[in-house]
Structure 1
Amino acid sequence: MRESEDEWTGLMRLAISGDSAAYQRLLKAVTPVLRAGARRGLARAGQPTDQSEDVVQDILLAVHLKRHTWDANAPFAPWLFAIARNKLIDSLRRRGRRVFVNIDDFAESIPDEPPAETASANEVATLLQTLPTRQREVLQSIAVESTSIRDTAAKFAMSEGAVRVALHRALTSLTAKLREH
């Protein structure tokens, strides 16, 4: 690998000085390595590896657009792999955290009958009234009014941590009461 990294550095130096044939050889040499790295990175993140070619194209485009920033006195591979790592991370962030599961694998575990009846809105409202006032106010502010934790804290003159604790306690208590009900 060390020889190929030295070769890549030499090719990049020639490419920077205007040798387009060297640039083509460099891109052809690094592409299989980038493709394998993209596949490994996507697989490690639980993403489909068939998207690796998009990541490789993003990397090659970034290399092309940023090649003037490479320091000709430094080795090429670390610079390339930093770009590759960043483009892979960007790609994963764009995709978000998704897990692909084939539902056919779980067909026999899905019940045939509908789930048991849940509590009605009136029953939940009644149970909410049994919560301590501050917990109920915090829960209603966040869950019903969609107010942020920061705004809820300001509204009730509480710290954000205290709001989180009150919310957690309210949800835990309400869940326990719904299970008993």
Structure 2
Amino acid sequence: MTDRERRWAGLMQAALAGDGAAYERLLREIAPAIRVVVQRRLTRIGAPAAECEDIVQETLLALHLKRQSWRTGDPLGPWLWTIARNKMVDHLRRRGRRVEVPVEDFADVLAAPEERPGTEAADVERHLAQLPEKQRDVLRSIAVDGSSIGETAERMKMTPGAVRGALHRAFSSLSARLRTDG
């Protein structure tokens, strides 16, 4: 395990224990790393680099929603890179492309172990119901329906930047609520 992975694992453990500052630091550290890997892969397969930010946001959203499934004794990297790879493939498939992205492009180590069962649908709906309508609609569109930032912006008659802002506010609100509930 690299020093970076040890640091990320420590931050994730602290975040899961309720340390919001550690979670914010983790997200700030992993977002640029994900962005570099995704951009490199998009370039390699000839896909538009402009799709990178949507994939990064989808990956961060999935990480947020699935963070409880990470096993604290395991390295964070394989788990994270698997999510990033899957989000990239999903994103490109929605665009009508046949995509084959080798796992080794995303991980330096073995694949992450099988995930534990995630949050129940009723819990997701309960948390979503606590959000303001626009944030709830944006989060549901992206996280539940699998729409991209661009698709959500078009459907909701918003700019992509406004969608990202609403998504960020929804994450912040949910994170704060989950910290107080936990």
Q: TM-score range, shorter-chain basis? A: 0.5 to 0.7
Q: Look up the match of 2:58.
A: 58
- Give 1:157-172 correspondences, 5 Å limit: none
- Give 1:64-79 correspondences, 5 Å limit: 64-79=64-79
TM-aligned CA deviation for residue 97 of structure 1: 2.9
Identity %: 52
Alignment partners' CA distance in 2, 1:96 and 1:39: 19
Alignment partners' CA distance in 2, 1:23 and 1:17: 10
The question of 1:27 aligning with 2:5 is answered no
Q: Look up the match of 2:88.
A: 88
Which residue identity lines up with residue 56 of structure 1 in the other structure? Answer: V
Q: Is the 8 A contact 1:41 1:88 kept in 2?
A: no
- Deviation string 1:36-84 (CA, Å, 9 cap, x unpaired) is 1111121122111011000000000000000010001111111001100
Alignment partners' CA distance in 2, 1:97 and 1:20: 38
From the CA coordinates, give the structure whose radius of gyration is larger. 1
Q: CA RMSD in A?
A: 1.4
Which residue identity lines up with residue 17 of structure 1 in the other structure? Answer: A
Alignment partners' CA distance in 1, 2:45 and 2:6: 30
- Give 1:103-122 correspondences, 5 Å limit: none
Count of aligned pairs: 98
SS at match of 2:60: helix
SS at match of 1:47: coil
Q: Look up the match of 1:143.
A: none
Alignment partners' CA distance in 2, 1:97 and 1:82: 20
Higher relative contact order (CA 8 A, sep 6+): 2
Alignment partners' CA distance in 2, 1:81 and 1:65: 15
Which residue identity lines up with residue 39 of structure 2 in the other structure? Answer: R
Structure 1's consecutive aligned runs of 4 or more residues displaced over 6 angstroms after TM superposition are none
Q: Look up the match of 2:117.
A: none
Q: Is the 8 A contact 1:38 1:52 kept in 2?
A: yes
- Deviation string 1:125-179 (CA, Å, 9 cap, x unpaired) is xxxxxxxxxxxxxxxxxxxxxxxxxxxxxxxxxxxxxxxxxxxxxxxxxxxxxxx
SS at match of 1:96: coil
Query: Unaligned stretches of 5+ in structure 1?
Result: 99-181
Alignment partners' CA distance in 2, 1:48 and 1:56: 14
SS at match of 2:71: coil
Alignment partners' CA distance in 2, 1:90 and 1:15: 27
TM-aligned CA deviation for residue 92 of structure 1: 1.1
Which residue identity lines up with residue 23 of structure 1 in the other structure? Answer: Y
Q: Is the 8 A contact 1:9 1:75 kept in 2?
A: yes
Q: Look up the match of 1:46.
A: 46
